[in-house]
């Protein structure tokens, strides 16, 4: 299991450009090694952060990117709750990811069939892998310690066989979603959490200092052989007592 890096920034404004550089450096490495870059996206504050920082990078070429979603809400793409819809409007329209490289759910299907359909799409994109091996997964964490749509105390935390699982009883609306499972998340070559704001401070301390013993889903993200980054701002890191790295504007990981 690779070492975890906890990196603290003065604010999300300094974090954003470093995250964008992490994405592009992982992309360059993946394309050089395997001819493409596979990226898993999450919603929340990541949408606006990536949409602000990636399009302004000089010479950004996303023509060999394949993008999936770590979880998705079962709503129409024009619904403000749709993660794909948000990225389509704010990011995909500004960069040259090919349409065939964007793996979106079929939001017209019932939730169980939607999960099966998305599983098929991922299997086609990652032929030969028992579980898809993404080059980079970008994750967020809720104040309750959930990540993807894997919530505290939910039976899906114990799923070991499915690639994508349906959830009909999400404690956070909307209730119907599909989510990657821990076997997929922990197969990634690199996972980066982005966690900002003072509301995350108590749970971040538990996740990073008590680890899996905390019971929080985010603490169970431990890539088997990949890298793990926690990129956080000072308000989110306010309660931490562990040793962290501190970086400012213009830094690179």
3-state helix, strand, coil in the chain (%, to 5): 35, 20, 45
What pLDDT score does 211 carry? 85
CA separation for the pair 251, 121 (Å, rounded) = 36
The count of domains in the chain is 1
pLDDT tens per residue across span 25-57? 999 999 999 999 999 999 999 999 999 999 999
CATH number at residue 146: 3.40.50.1360
**HSE (side-chain half, CA atoms, 13 Å) at 64:** 15
Which pair of structure tokens corresponds to residue 25?
Answer: 């450096």
What pLDDT score does 157 carry? 95
- Asked if residue 148 belongs to a domain, the reply is yes
- Asked if residue 212 belongs to a domain, the reply is yes
- Asked if residue 249 belongs to a domain, the reply is no
- Asked if residue 227 belongs to a domain, the reply is no
List, as one string, the DSSP characters of 104-137: ---TTS-HHHHHHHHHHHHHHHSTT-SS---SEE
The answer to whether residue 150 scores a pLDDT higher than 80 is yes
- Asked if residue 44 belongs to a domain, the reply is yes
Q: Which comes out higher in pLDDT, residue 122 or 253?
A: 122
- Asked if residue 53 belongs to a domain, the reply is yes
Proportion of the chain above pLDDT 70, given as a percent: 99
pLDDT tens per residue across span 161-182? 999 999 999 999 999 999 999 9
Q: Which comes out higher in pLDDT, residue 207 or 212?
A: 207
Q: How confident is the model at residue 212 (pLDDT cuts 50, 70, 90)?
A: confident
What pLDDT score does 2 carry? 60
- Asked if residue 252 belongs to a domain, the reply is no
Which pair of structure tokens corresponds to residue 10?
Answer: 């003065």
What pLDDT score does 224 carry? 93
pLDDT tens per residue across span 174-207? 999 999 999 999 999 999 999 999 999 999 999 9
- Asked if residue 205 belongs to a domain, the reply is yes
The answer to whether residue 1 scores a pLDDT higher than 70 is no
CA separation for the pair 166, 175 (Å, rounded) = 10
What is the span of the domain harbouring residue 81? Answer: 4-217
Q: How confident is the model at residue 3 (pLDDT cuts 50, 70, 90)?
A: confident
pLDDT tens per residue across span 85-113? 999 999 999 999 999 999 999 999 999 99
The answer to whether residue 132 scores a pLDDT higher than 60 is yes
């Amino acid at each position: 299991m690779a070492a975890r890096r906890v990196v603290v920034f003065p604010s999300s404004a300094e974090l954003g450009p470093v995250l964008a550089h992490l994405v592009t450096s992982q992309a360059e490495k993946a394309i050089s090694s395997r001819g493409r870059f596979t990226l898993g996206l999450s919603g929340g504050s990541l949408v606006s952060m990536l949409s602000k920082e990636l399009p302004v990078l000089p010479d950004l070429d996303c023509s060999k990117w394949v993008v999936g979603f770590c979880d998705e809400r079962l709503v129409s793409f024009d619904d403000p709750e749709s993660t794909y819809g948000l990225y389509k409007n704010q990011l995909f329209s500004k960069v040259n990811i090919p349409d065939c490289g964007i793996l979106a759910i079929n939001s017209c299907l019932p939730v169980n069939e939607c999960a099966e359909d998305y599983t098929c799409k991922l299997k086609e994109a990652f032929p030969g892998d028992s579980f898809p091996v993404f080059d980079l997964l970008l994750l967020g964490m809720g104040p309750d310690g959930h990540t993807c749509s894997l919530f505290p105390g939910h039976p899906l935390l114990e799923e070991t066989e499915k690639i994508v699982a349906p959830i009909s009883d999400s404690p956070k609306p909307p209730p119907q979603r599909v989510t990657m499972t821990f076997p997929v998340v922990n197969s990634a070559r690199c996972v980066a959490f982005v966690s900002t704001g003072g509301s995350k401070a108590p749970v971040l301390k538990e996740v990073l200092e008590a680890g899996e013993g905390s019971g929080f889903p985010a603490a169970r993200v431990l890539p088997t052989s990949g890298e793990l980054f926690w990129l956080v701002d000072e308000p989110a890191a306010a309660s931490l007592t562990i040793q962290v790295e501190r970086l400012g504007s213009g830094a690179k990981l």
